[in-house]
Structure 1
Amino acid sequence: MKILAAMSGGVDSAVAAARAVDAGHEVVGVHLALSRMPGTLRTGSRGCCTIEDSMDAQRAANIMGIPYYVWDFSERFKEDVVDDFIAEYEAGRTPNPCMRCNEKIKFAALLEKAIDLGFDAVVTGHYAAIREDEHGNRELHRAADWAKDQSYVLGVLTAEQLKHCMFPLADTPSKAEVRAEAAERGFSVASKPDSHDICFIPDGDTRGWLAERLGAEPGIILDREGNKVGKHEGAAAFTIGQRKGLNLGIPSVDGRPRYVLDIQPKQNTVVVGPREALDLAEIAGSRFSWAGLPPADAATPFACHVQVRAHSDPVSALAHVETGELIIRPDVPLNGVSTGQTAVVYVGTRVLGQCTIDRTVSAAPLAAH
């Protein structure tokens, strides 16, 4: 097969590409230039897709003896990921830029270009597995190493995209084994730290970054009863469930900490309350997709597990589709979940599908969203 290996400059993608070469495929490496500041360098484990990462990827490609290219996707990345991130915060939602990047860049723009150029599939270093059912239909599953499992961020993949994806690290028992293999192959990235945080905010100061782009107009903080309990310097910088940095001038009557319950950007108001007020009995989204074949009868509630963050534990739930929404009702209330986040639905180890959360229903009437 003719394979395009997406090489981020990290150890996982380098080893994934090497395994594709070992399997006898015709492999071409490509690094995606996503930053609009080409002089940007990596700082420790923060950020990704920098000049340094590009050079690391090229060194690995040279050792493998495969062609290597850099594709400039910076404009598409800005429009589909960065601008979307800003717009979601401006609307009072909490987006997941990694999900948008996988959906719009790595498995839409990249895959589309790869197929147009005659490639059969795209290889990445994600820890996830593709299995086939008894009829040969492809399904997305968790990786063997649950501690490194990345199936959550791939929940946006469609059945058609899964036909052209390869994840060679699926059955690798641990990240340590991948690093050991990279060292044996002579890859300089063998001990390179994993990237974390939002790649286009490498210093980790999301609040400051947003303030520069959205402005920071002072406003008030209210409790659930509508009483003023503090002031803020800009509602867009807050997230649902946030506890720190609230600077409340009036303590709660019971002395317990308060959390952000709601963000009202039009009123420039933030609402706070007790932790239990964050409990949600239902989440739903009209922007949903299936990772492979959909349920035979999605209108009938079916048992599943839902995961709302990349590293959170899955929660048992019932889900169904009604009036154009994927509606998920967890058996135990979810806490601190915001609109804009992604809910990924699993049946066993299989990723069934996902939705971007558009609305939530509180377990406590006073905290209704």
Structure 2
Amino acid sequence: MDSSVSAELLKRDGYEVGAVVMMMSDEHMKTVQAAREAASALDIPLFELDLRQEFKKEIIDYFAAEYLRGRTPSPCVRCNPRIKFKYLLKTALDNGYTYIATGHYAKISRVDSCGAYLILKASSDKRDQSYMLAGLGQDVLSRLICPLSGMEKSEVRQIAMDLGLKCHDAPDSVENCFIPDNDYARFIESSYGKSPRGNFVLDDGTVVGSHSGILHYTIGQRKGLGVALGKPAYVSRINPDKNEVVLSFKKRMTTCIELDELFEASEGLLSDPARRYCCKLRSTGALLECRLERRGKRALIFLKEPYPAVSSGQAAVIYDGDGESAAVYGMGIIDNCK
């Protein structure tokens, strides 16, 4: 629905509009059919791409490998630069279009102080999707339009209804588009093999039970552990080398985060160790004040205040501050926490 309304708004502004739909997995057949119906209703051409092979290699295989290592990946953050926007831009340029647009709730603006196009938070914190787009480079951002950045979902649904689009009452899209029931453990084990059972241990190494395989657990998890200790316990660490899940009776608090695969939206934005940045450690998380020390393609983030349940494998997105229009300066993948 968001993409369809974006197309309509661009048509109203005088753009010549075409649409692209991507078949990422066998779960996307309904998405393709919905795109065909919307393109017909809007009277715009539709380009259909079969990217199942590319998506499996770049996203699904990576997703499974990360969970089997005891990490919690961010598939959408990885998919956007490597698959979705890569092929969206290629299709646009190959067919004579100048710009690309999506239904994401974010703003794109050229910032004079650095001479680059940056992603800004959307007006609605609830709908802001700047975190998901943090890995996009200047080749994409310089051509990207996000027509819904200043709108609420109710406004978008009303436009879709007025247009007679069947998708006007479609539910919000889920973060994981290739596992519709969100049972990622079942999906991984059915496709990549069972995760071996191992031990639950306490911080001091005491064995307190057996777990079902490390991919079934994530940092901070309290429910569904299947072990009774007389009081609430949390997953504080996952040790893939020993196949152990470490439990603690207190939430593990983090003040220092090691990042890998550091990415800057524009060169030099993450090179000032004295600057106060802010970061998001999950898509719906709060902006946390921090410092950043860069070390090549790695970095250390020092949080001003301790923060609970930080998972390796997740994206940490760096902003220039915590204002209403905070700009994305870059991102990295959480490798370790202290």
The whole-number CA distance in structure 2 between the counterparts of 1:234 and 1:112 is 41
Of residues 300, 305, 321, the one that matches 1:332 is 305
Per the alignment, residue 13 of structure 1 pairs with 3
Q: 1:320·1:327 contact (CA, 8 Å) conserved in 2?
A: yes
Does 2:233 correspond to 1:258?
A: yes
Q: 1:81·1:101 contact (CA, 8 Å) conserved in 2?
A: yes
The whole-number CA distance in structure 2 between the counterparts of 1:169 and 1:321 is 34
Per the alignment, residue 132 of structure 1 pairs with 110
The whole-number CA distance in structure 2 between the counterparts of 1:22 and 1:293 is 36
Does 2:328 correspond to 1:359?
A: no
User: How far off is 1:284 after superposition?
Assistant: 2.0
Identity of aligned residues (%): 33
Q: CA 1:324/1:137 → structure 2, altered by over 3 Å: closer, same or farther?
A: closer
Q: 2:273·2:291 contact (CA, 8 Å) conserved in 1?
A: no
Q: What TM-score do you get using the length of structure 1 for normalisation?
A: 0.85
Per the alignment, residue 45 of structure 1 pairs with none
What per-residue deviation string (whole Å, max 9, x for no partner) do you get for residues 76-135 of structure 1? 110111000011112221101111111211122332343344432221100000112236
SS of the residue aligned with 1:26? Answer: coil
- After TM superposition, the structure 1 stretch with the greater mean CA deviation from structure 2, 191-200 or 343-352, is 191-200
Of residues 57, 68, 73, the one that matches 1:79 is 57
Mapping 1:154-193, distance limit 5 Å? 154-172=133-151, 174-193=152-171
Does 2:129 correspond to 1:144?
A: no
Does 2:215 correspond to 1:236?
A: yes
What per-residue deviation string (whole Å, max 9, x for no partner) do you get for residues 120-178 of structure 1? 22211000001122365311101111210100100111222211211111122x11011
SS of the residue aligned with 2:256? Answer: strand
User: How far off is 1:216 after superposition?
Assistant: 2.9
- The alignment's C-alpha RMSD in Å is 1.8
Per the alignment, residue 320 of structure 1 pairs with 293
Counterpart residue type for residue 13 of structure 1: S
The whole-number CA distance in structure 1 between the counterparts of 2:292 and 2:66 is 25
User: How far off is 1:15 after superposition?
Assistant: 0.6
The whole-number CA distance in structure 2 between the counterparts of 1:31 and 1:116 is 15
Q: CA 1:54/1:171 → structure 2, altered by over 3 Å: closer, same or farther?
A: same
Mapping 1:203-218, distance limit 5 Å? 203-212=181-190, 213-218=192-197
What per-residue deviation string (whole Å, max 9, x for no partner) do you get for residues 320-351 of structure 1? 31354222111111210111000011113111
SS of the residue aligned with 1:132? Answer: strand
Q: 2:68·2:195 contact (CA, 8 Å) conserved in 1?
A: no
Does 2:257 correspond to 1:267?
A: no
Of residues 43, 53, 67, the one that matches 1:89 is 67
Counterpart residue type for residue 219 of structure 2: I
What per-residue deviation string (whole Å, max 9, x for no partner) do you get for residues 173-199 of structure 1? x11011111111221111111122521
The whole-number CA distance in structure 2 between the counterparts of 1:293 and 1:355 is 15
The whole-number CA distance in structure 2 between the counterparts of 1:161 and 1:274 is 46
SS of the residue aligned with 1:340? Answer: coil
The whole-number CA distance in structure 2 between the counterparts of 1:12 and 1:133 is 26
Q: CA 1:294/1:186 → structure 2, altered by over 3 Å: closer, same or farther?
A: farther
Counterpart residue type for residue 9 of structure 2: R
The whole-number CA distance in structure 1 between the counterparts of 2:254 and 2:116 is 34
Unaligned runs of 5+ in 1: 1-10, 41-49, 362-369
Q: 1:211·1:234 contact (CA, 8 Å) conserved in 2?
A: no
The whole-number CA distance in structure 1 between the counterparts of 2:277 and 2:134 is 14
Counterpart residue type for residue 268 of structure 2: P
Unaligned runs of 5+ in 2: none
Q: What TM-score do you get using the length of structure 2 for normalisation?
A: 0.93
SS of the residue aligned with 1:160? Answer: helix
Per the alignment, residue 343 of structure 1 pairs with 316
Q: 1:236·1:265 contact (CA, 8 Å) conserved in 2?
A: no
Q: CA 1:288/1:196 → structure 2, altered by over 3 Å: closer, same or farther?
A: same
